[in-house]
Copies of this chain bind each other. A is one copy, B any other.
Amino acid sequence: MNELTISLKSGNKMPLYEQIYAYIKEEIRKGTLKSGEKLPSTRALCRHLEVSRSTVELAYEQLLSEGYIEAQPYRGYFVSQIDGLYQIIQPKTEGKQGEKRDEKKYAYDFTPNGVDLKSFPYNTWRKLSKECLVDDRAELFRLGCPQGEYGLRSAISSYLHQARGVNCAPEQIIVGAGNDYLLMLLCAALGNSHRVAIENPTYRQAYRLFVNLSYEVCTVDMDGKGMRSDGLEKSGADIAFVMPSHHYPLGTVMPIKRRMELLKWAEEAEGRYIIEDDYDSEFRYKGKPIPALQGYDRGDKVIYIGTFSKSIAPAIRMSYMVLPRPVLELYRLRCGFINSTVSKVDQLILQKFIEDGYYERHLNKTRALYRSRHDTLLAVLKELAPDIRISGENAGVHLLLHFRDGRSEAELIRKAAEKGVKVYGLSEYYVDEAKNHIKTGGGSREKNGSKETVILLGYANMNEEKIKEAVTLLGEAWKKTRA
């Protein structure tokens, strides 16, 4: 080939050299220009197209860098030998709708995962955000410490000591974008050749994560005090995942005796650890919050995980993990190079939020708000259905209703849905027990194992008025069937 007739558009947004480049590339793709074929010299082509020689040279250089053509000394430019050049096919998009699942709209939703966003200290957050982004703070956009900024970790460490009885130095804290991420990071630090014991029911998100991170997972019997330590001993697990201060979803508080048994189990063998997920212990309506298990740990055995998603706002995406020294060493060795997942600006905002006392005030405010909703819900429930047993009502943002009249969970949920009220069944928190379940001999198994039907009602995201309306509807929904 000696001539390439390209219709160049000088008014085009695309520079001339790029038009030449694009034309030739397309010809090669279509196969019109075949491999081994000689291209016109830059001198010939620039004369033919009436453009400057450097324009053609630029086009050829681009084709050279991408490997479409090759230069042979003293001979000129040739189309490269390329197999399997495909036409690019524009992929079909599912559209925004394609992603969303159809969700029935409910007038009332008792989700146990709700958070009241109206109480989110929007103005404070905005103010702090502005303060952080004052002039010449470009430093904030430089890469920070992989564990999170020291200032924030100090603030978290003090808070944890005061409010949760956790004993740790800022060096032991890793700040990360959410609990899921922290568990993934922990897996990278510990390796995944471990057997994890979990309770059943449990926080399914953690369960699925353990399974997907290729851990061996087994469920261990629990009683009214939490995970049974004899079951844990029998399980062969080397990691126990528990929520001692407020079990999710049952609301169980693990008493000090059981805690000591768990710590003893961990101390009996090297490499045994307890992961304490302290996800919402801030909210307790009777007395003080229950202190964390970590505070009793003398043997460097407890990995403590907490989050601001529950106590401030889900989209904050900031959680923290306190590592005992041996795990901290593993983390530094194997994950120390992994960059932080939280932006420095957000870390600074949160640090100020804690240090300036806003966090404590926000917690107090939210606690009062949730307490009032909690009290309302309890009162109307007791009025409407004094015979239903209620549990898990001293803490957190949901409670459990125990039915023993033989009606199934599905039926209760369906009847409520017909009235526009969404309620949740306990069964969805149970993990498949078929494999790897560690049964303990005698002892008091939790009643949930028996013929009871248990429904969860979360109240964080519903005001008193709505709670009253919704419970009235529930009364209608559930009473009729009984008749």
Task: Flag if B341 contacts A315 (CB, 8 Å).
Answer: no
Contact A341 B341 (CB under 8 A): yes
B260–A83 CB distance below 8 A: yes
Interface string of A297-334 (1 = CB under 8 A from B): 01000000000010011111100000000000000001
Inter-subunit contact B315/A167 (CB<8 Å): no
**Is residue A428 contacting chain B, with contact meaning CB distance below 8 A?**
no
| A-side interface mostly | loop
* A345 CB within 8 Å of chain B: yes
A135, chain B: closest CB distance, angstroms: 8
Q: How does the 8 Å CB contact mask read for A327-368 relative to B, with 1 for contact and 0 for none?
A: 000000011011111111110000000000000000000000
Copies in the complex: 2
Q: State whether A255 touches B66 (Cβ < 8 A).
A: yes
Contacts A88-B296, A261-B83; A61 near B286 (Cβ below 8 A): yes
Inter-chain contact B93/A316, CB cutoff 8 Å: no
Determine whether A263 belongs to the interface, using a CB cutoff of 8 Å to chain B: yes
Q: How far is the CA of A294 from the CA of B213 in the complex (A)?
A: 27
* Contact A86 B298, CB 8 Å, known A169-B93, A170-B93: yes
CB-contacts of A52-102 with B (<8 A)? 58, 61-62, 65-68, 80-94, 96, 98-99
In the complex, the answer to whether A343 meets B343 with C-beta atoms within 8 Å is yes
Enumerate chain B residues within 8 angstroms of A98, measured Cβ to Cβ.
Answer: 171
Q: How far is the CA of A172 from the CA of B99 in the complex (A)?
A: 10
Distance of A284 Cα from B291 Cα, bound (Å): 56
Q: How far is the CA of A150 from the CA of B89 in the complex (A)?
A: 22
Known A80-B257, A86-B296, A177-B341; judge A212-B188 contact (CB<8 A).
yes
The answer to whether B341 touches A181, judged by C-beta atoms less than 8 angstroms apart, is yes
Contact of A315 among B141, B225, B255 (CB under 8 A): B141
Q: How far, in angstroms, from A88 to B61 measured CA to CA in the complex?
A: 70
**Contact in complex: A255, B130 (CB < 8 Å):** no
Mark the stretch among A117-125, A399-407, A473-481 that contacts chain B. A117-125
Smallest Cβ distance from A100 to chain B, in angstroms? 9
A40, CB-defined interface residue at 8 Å:
no
**8 Å CB contacts to B: which residues of A126-168?**
126, 129-130, 133, 135, 137-145, 147, 150, 165, 167-168
Set of chain B residues within 8 Å of A291, measured between Cβ atoms: 66
Determine the chain B residues whose CB is within 8 A of the CB of A295 once the complex forms.
88
Output the least CB separation between A193 and chain B (Å).
8
Check if A104 is an interface residue, CB within 8 A of chain B: no
Contacts A65-B253, A115-B142 known; 8 new A-B pairs at CB < 8 A: A65-B287, A82-B260, A85-B296, A86-B296, A93-B171, A120-B138, A315-B343, A317-B341
